[in-house]
Amino acid sequence: MERTILHCDCNNFYASVERLYHPELRDRPIAVSGDPELRHGIVLAKSNEAKKLGVKTGHPLWMAKQLCPDIVFVKPHYDLYTHFSQLARNIYSEYTDRVEPYGQDECWLDMTGTAKLLGDGKHIADTIRNRIKSELGITISAGVSFNKVFAKLGSDYKKPDATTVIPFDGFREFVWPLPVSNLIFVGGATTKVLERKCIRTIGELANTDRSTVKSWLGKCGETLWLYANGYDSSQVAKDGEQPTIKSIGNSTTLSRDLVGYDEIKITLMVLSESVAARLRRHNMQCETVQIGIRGTNLSWIERQGRLPIPGCDSTTIYLKALELLVQNYQQGKPVRSLGVRACNLSARQYIQTSFMPSVHRTQRYEKIEDVIDKLRFRFGNKIVQRGIMLSDTGLSTLDPQADHPNLILSSVHTQR
């Protein structure tokens, strides 16, 4: 049976929500941006007026101002966006139990088999679009197709506030002339590789030999070839289904460049504590620790190393992160951003007991941190602190979990 998949994408999500709450900004170009004083001054989202003048997500504020002198910058309100995202999902859930979020502002809906009850895909998409507009005051664009990839392509095709249908009969005429970069998971690097092979449209990718594409791009290439030919058969996950977490990480751009190891150590400890606490919250442990460092030239390097035994305590993660930093980053070179990530995750339920002192020590640390978690839950984060945090309270007040709840969510890399 032909499936009916919808993809709903909230248009300029952050900017639309901000505009709803600030009617005086309704006809003006706006951008939601981070705090420039904390050096988070980049465009996070922009309105259509700003977009037309060339403002892009990720642009520094001075560049956005140069492109669009009338632009108004507003601060982000992540809690409000999460609230709106939940309200939109509540509406989607009234139509189907298969609602799979893809970020905060996008969702796939599986409407297969509901045509007699609720109408065809386009009718449902239009109904949902109108409801979101009247109930939430923001617009969405919807794509309707027979698989998730083309549904997503449809929602990106026409914006804002529009429905695009890509039917099974005739998808080739619709999809194949489009640029290959419109296909999901085809980013800048893949587009360049394909361009070198003279592949510019989705149709050209689809008509290339499957094994040839695989030889260019590996396993991902084969997946893209399947997508281009309309063979994507992945299911829309059920509402509330928990995805498997692949890695947990936190990163931060610092309010000033850090030069000495003493300052870097404090930030590494804050990040390690946050990552470790989140690992324990998900009842997981990691086998690999990865660090990310951005210098003043804005280049980002990532290095990773394995732990002797899997762990979820901040001391182990911190010591590994510090070891990686010392090995891979020249002392005295200023650091702009730092990130710590726990990878190779496994469930914490089966723990190998051992008489080895190193294993025993790690397990003791974990027990101590379990107690600290309980104390922090009851009395707040500052009830138990490490001595190192008192050496520079400016740096140690950083709370990666509370400052950017959505960024943290997005940094939990997931795989279904």
Token pair in block for residue 205 = 């990718």
Longest pairwise C-alpha distance within the chain = 69
Of 18, 24, 100, 106, the catalytic one is 106
Q: Provide the minimum distance between the beta carbon of 8 and another protein in the complex, in angstroms, as a whole number.
A: 17
Q: Provide the minimum distance between the beta carbon of 10 and another protein in the complex, in angstroms, as a whole number.
A: 13
Token pair in block for residue 116 = 């007699």
The residue to which tokens 């859930």 are assigned: 93
106 is catalytic: yes
Interface map 250-289 toward another protein (x if CB under 8 A): ----------------------------------------
Measured distance CA(398)–CA(88) in Å, rounded: 31
When binding is defined by CB under 8 A, the residue of 80, 118, 184, 407 that contacts another protein is: 80
Stretch that binds another protein, among 28-36, 130-138, 210-218, 388-396 (CB under 8 A): 130-138
When binding is defined by CB under 8 A, the residue of 2, 35, 135, 370 that contacts another protein is: 135
Q: Provide the minimum distance between the beta carbon of 17 and another protein in the complex, in angstroms, as a whole number.
A: 9
When binding is defined by CB under 8 A, the residue of 1, 94, 117, 134 that contacts another protein is: 134
- H or E element: which one contains 410? helix 405-411
Q: Provide the minimum distance between the beta carbon of 93 and another protein in the complex, in angstroms, as a whole number.
A: 14
Q: Provide the minimum distance between the beta carbon of 229 and another protein in the complex, in angstroms, as a whole number.
A: 41
The residue to which tokens 């009338």 are assigned: 70
When binding is defined by CB under 8 A, the residue of 36, 48, 62, 83 that contacts another protein is: 83
CA-closest candidate to residue 231, choices 296, 314, 145 = 145
C-alpha torsion sign, points 133, 136, 137, 142: negative
Stretch that binds another protein, among 54-62, 79-87, 153-161, 251-259 (CB under 8 A): 79-87
Q: Provide the minimum distance between the beta carbon of 130 and another protein in the complex, in angstroms, as a whole number.
A: 12
Q: Which is nearer to another protein, 134 or 352 (CB)?
A: 134
Burial of residue 288, with CB atoms counted within 10 A of its CB: 0-12 exposed, 13-18 middle, 19 or more buried: middle
Measured distance CA(111)–CA(89) in Å, rounded: 15
48 forms part of the interface with another protein (CB under 8 A):
no
Token pair in block for residue 77 = 């309100």
- Give CA 62 to chain center in angstroms: 25
Q: Which is nearer to another protein, 45 or 217 (CB)?
A: 45
SS3 content of the chain, % helix, strand, coil (to 5): 45, 20, 30
Q: Which is nearer to another protein, 85 or 190 (CB)?
A: 85
Which amino acid type is present at position 404?
Answer: H
Q: Which is nearer to another protein, 76 or 311 (CB)?
A: 76
Interface map 8-47 toward another protein (x if CB under 8 A): ------------xxxx------------------------
Q: Provide the minimum distance between the beta carbon of 126 and another protein in the complex, in angstroms, as a whole number.
A: 18
CA distances from 375 to 20, 348, 380 (A): 40, 21, 7
Q: Which is nearer to another protein, 119 or 137 (CB)?
A: 137
Residues in the chain: 416
Q: Provide the minimum distance between the beta carbon of 82 and another protein in the complex, in angstroms, as a whole number.
A: 10
Do residues 141 and 159 touch, judged by C-beta distance below 8 A? yes
SS (H, E, C) 38-100: HCCCEEEEECHHHHHCCCCCCCEHHHHHHHCCCCEEECCCHHHHHHHHHHHHHHHHCCCCCEE
Contacts (CB under 8 A) with another protein, residues 308-327: none
Buried b or exposed e, range 353-392, using 16+ CB within 10 angstroms? eeeeeebeebbebbeebeebeeebeeeebeeeebebbeee
220 forms part of the interface with another protein (CB under 8 A):
no
Q: Which is nearer to another protein, 17 or 275 (CB)?
A: 17
137 forms part of the interface with another protein (CB under 8 A):
yes
Measured distance CA(139)–CA(84) in Å, rounded: 12
Q: In what order do the strands lie in the sheet with 335-347?
A: 300-311, 284-295, 335-347, 244-258, 413-415
Stretch that binds another protein, among 93-101, 135-143, 163-171, 283-291 (CB under 8 A): 135-143
Contacts (CB under 8 A) with another protein, residues 87-106: 87
Interface map 138-157 toward another protein (x if CB under 8 A): x-------------------
When binding is defined by CB under 8 A, the residue of 136, 226, 309, 384 that contacts another protein is: 136
CA distances from 396 to 207, 256, 294, 413 (A): 55, 13, 19, 26
Which amino acid type is present at position 273?
Answer: E
- Catalytic residues, which ones? 106
- Binding interface with another protein (CB under 8 A): 20-23, 80, 83-84, 87, 133-138
